[in-house]
Structure 1
Amino acid sequence: MKIAICGGTGFIGKALQEHWLKDGHHLIIITRKIPTHATTIQSQIEHITWDQLEHHPELLENLDALVNLAGASLSQRWTTQAKQRIIESRLKTVSAVSNLVSQLKKKPAVVIQASAIAIYGTSNDGTFEETSPTRVMDFPSDVVQQWEDAADTIQEVRLVKLRVSVVLGSHGGAYPMMKLPFRLGVGGRIGSGQQWMSWIHITDMVRLIDFCILHPEVNGPVNAAAPHPVTNDQFGRTVAAVYHRPYWFPIPSFLLKAVVGELSLILLQGQRVIPSKALEHGFEFTFPEIRDALQDLK
């Protein structure tokens, strides 16, 4: 297949590249600047800048799929400037993809557009599926709602809005920092520990994107989350057990808020999200349980 990736140099993008190169696919990485090492990497990969595409959209004719993962990380202190940067980075890229697709004579069969489970809002007792109503109740849910609204302007192709949970991997994402306190012997619950954490192993994240591309019956919102969410307390106890470390040093809510500000919201509140659509279409998770996932990442 011929696949274009926006945001292909990030944590998930790099894992996708590795997976698809092994399968022999031709990849186009859409980036702001072509890396200096681009001439020495695999011949299966080519790099195209956004500036090039603005003048020559035909460079993306005959794609089988386009995957848009681009967007500034939420894992930063949410100053006014940072919030604006987070929103604009998403809306600008989605708008560019929408405009690009509209200009192509032979459009890709599918566009996989990154989204996030924050669109459901937070709850300690609710369970969310793809058919659950979306709720704007805080900054993350507002960002994702705007993100998905913008994605709906991508027309005339099959559109999959991949609502991503916490992606667990050893070489990027949040997990290396999440496990650090436990490895140092000072790990414990965050706040009450009862907040839900929906998660997915990086292997299943990559496999699910591949699955969505290969199955034309899959469209619309798809929850990228393992079928067995855990509470923060369950997650912490599992990390401690996997690394044979104590579980005893809770982080009070007020201390976390003082250290990271409004960003503490995504650590102190959560959602119990179920991947109903993936399961209904026959996707089988390699790591459905948190303990097996963390053992694999050890």
Structure 2
Amino acid sequence: MHILLTGGTGLIGQRLCQYWLAKGHQLTVWSRRPEQVGRLCGAGVRGIDRLEAFGDQTLDAVVNLAGAPIADRPWSSARRALLWGSRITLTEQLLAWLEQRQQRPSVLISGSAVGWYGDAGEREITEASRPVKEDFASQLCIAWEETAQQAEALGIRVVLVRTGLVLASEGGFLSRLRLPFKLGLGGPIGDGRQWMPWIHINDEIALIDFLLQRNDASGPYNACAPEPVRNREFARRLGRALHRPALLPLPAPVLRFGLGELSTLLLGGQRARPVRLLAAGFTFQFNDVQSALDELSSRL
């Protein structure tokens, strides 16, 4: 299978490339730095900086994961424009190119996040739920999904992967927590009651491949483990995995003052469950957060 990836040099993209290379797939990554693709994604992966460079090769699937990190810095006007352009504008460019092609892929797997639902409080969230509270992150995900779904008019099956907090040793959410927790300075955020939908990186890769292989898969899927946890419980269990105390809370007013609206990502949450993935027969390797953190702890 020939797969085109955007965001292939990111945390999930790199792991997908390694996984699919081992399975014998042909991979092309659309990147601003194509010269780095081979080093980051694998020697057998081709990097291109223009979609036109793909040529007239057969294309079986597109996996669209590109997007600037949403939690790296406060959402200034410039930052909001960058986040929007790296997701919505890029997806529009991808669709315009696909429309021009005579041969089109059968499936587009497009990234999204559980932030699509907004801060849902205590409500249990499934793929049938509607956005509970729209903030910037929710609006961003909604627009990203709506743009990707336009590929259906081209005869392309569209799968939307609403990813939770990805637990990995080489980057992502845990990379920001590693140092304070190792120094014994970790603890809950705010009151710690907010729900955290999480997923081990191995399960994220496996479920994307699972959805790629299923011809009947379409629409949104919550990419998070079956058992979300509250933030204070997550902090306690991460401390246990790292053999460190996790008692120092990060006060909500401090976060709001320093991060502005970005603080809603940390102080809010979603009690999301992967109902459609489970119904389709996907089996998670890591169902509880302690087993996921224990597996990663030696590399943290």
Offset of residue 196 of structure 1 = 0.5
Q: 1:19 and 2:19 equivalent?
A: yes
Structure 1 counterpart of 2:290: 291
User: Which deviations, in whole Å up to 9, do the C-alpha atoms of 1:96-149 show, x marking residues without a partner?
Assistant: 121122222221121100011111111221011111113452111111111111
Q: 1:70 and 2:69 equivalent?
A: no
In structure 2, distance between residues paired with 1:42 and 1:9? 10
Q: 1:91 and 2:96 equivalent?
A: no
Structure 2 counterpart of 1:275: 274
The 3 A distance-change label for structure 1 pair 43 and 287 is same
User: Which deviations, in whole Å up to 9, do the C-alpha atoms of 1:1-21 show, x marking residues without a partner?
Assistant: 211111100111111111111
The equivalences for 1:158-169 within 5 A come to: 158-169=157-168
Q: Which residue of 141, 146, 153 maps to 1:144?
A: 141
Structure 2 counterpart of 1:248: 247
Q: Answer yes or no: is the 8 Å Cα contact 1:136–1:142 preserved in 2.
A: no
Q: Answer yes or no: is the 8 Å Cα contact 1:57–1:104 preserved in 2.
A: no
Letter in 1 for 2:45: I
Structure 2 counterpart of 1:219: 218
Q: 1:202 and 2:201 equivalent?
A: yes
Letter in 2 for 1:66: V
Q: Runs of at least 4 residues of structure 1 off by over 4 A?
A: 36-43
In structure 1, distance between residues paired with 2:98 and 2:70? 27
Q: Does 121-130 or 227-236 show the bigger shift?
A: 121-130
Q: Does 31-40 or 127-136 show the bigger shift?
A: 31-40
Offset of residue 41 of structure 1 = 8.3
Q: 1:10 and 2:6 equivalent?
A: no
User: Which deviations, in whole Å up to 9, do the C-alpha atoms of 1:148-191 show, x marking residues without a partner?
Assistant: 11112113111001111111101011111123322111111110
The alignment's C-alpha RMSD in Å is: 1.8
Q: Does 14-23 or 96-105 show the bigger shift?
A: 96-105
Q: Answer yes or no: is the 8 Å Cα contact 2:204–2:223 preserved in 1.
A: yes
Structure 2 counterpart of 1:29: 29
Q: Answer yes or no: is the 8 Å Cα contact 2:186–2:245 preserved in 1.
A: yes
In structure 1, distance between residues paired with 2:248 and 2:40? 48
Letter in 1 for 2:240: A
The 3 A distance-change label for structure 1 pair 264 and 36 is closer
The 3 A distance-change label for structure 1 pair 39 and 194 is closer
In structure 2, distance between residues paired with 1:262 and 1:41? 34
In structure 1, distance between residues paired with 2:239 and 2:143? 37
The 3 A distance-change label for structure 1 pair 181 and 160 is same
In structure 2, distance between residues paired with 1:182 and 1:45? 36
Q: Which residue of 109, 118, 143 maps to 2:115?
A: 118
Offset of residue 239 of structure 1 = 0.5
| SS class of match (1:94) | helix
Q: Answer yes or no: is the 8 Å Cα contact 2:120–2:133 preserved in 1.
A: no
Offset of residue 25 of structure 1 = 1.3
In structure 1, distance between residues paired with 2:179 and 2:295? 17
Runs of 5+ in structure 1 lacking a partner?
Answer: none
In structure 1, distance between residues paired with 2:31 and 2:124? 37
Runs of 5+ in structure 2 lacking a partner?
Answer: none
Letter in 2 for 1:196: W
Offset of residue 92 of structure 1 = 1.2
| SS class of match (2:150) | coil
The 3 A distance-change label for structure 1 pair 240 and 161 is same
In structure 2, distance between residues paired with 1:188 and 1:247? 4
Pairs aligned (count): 294
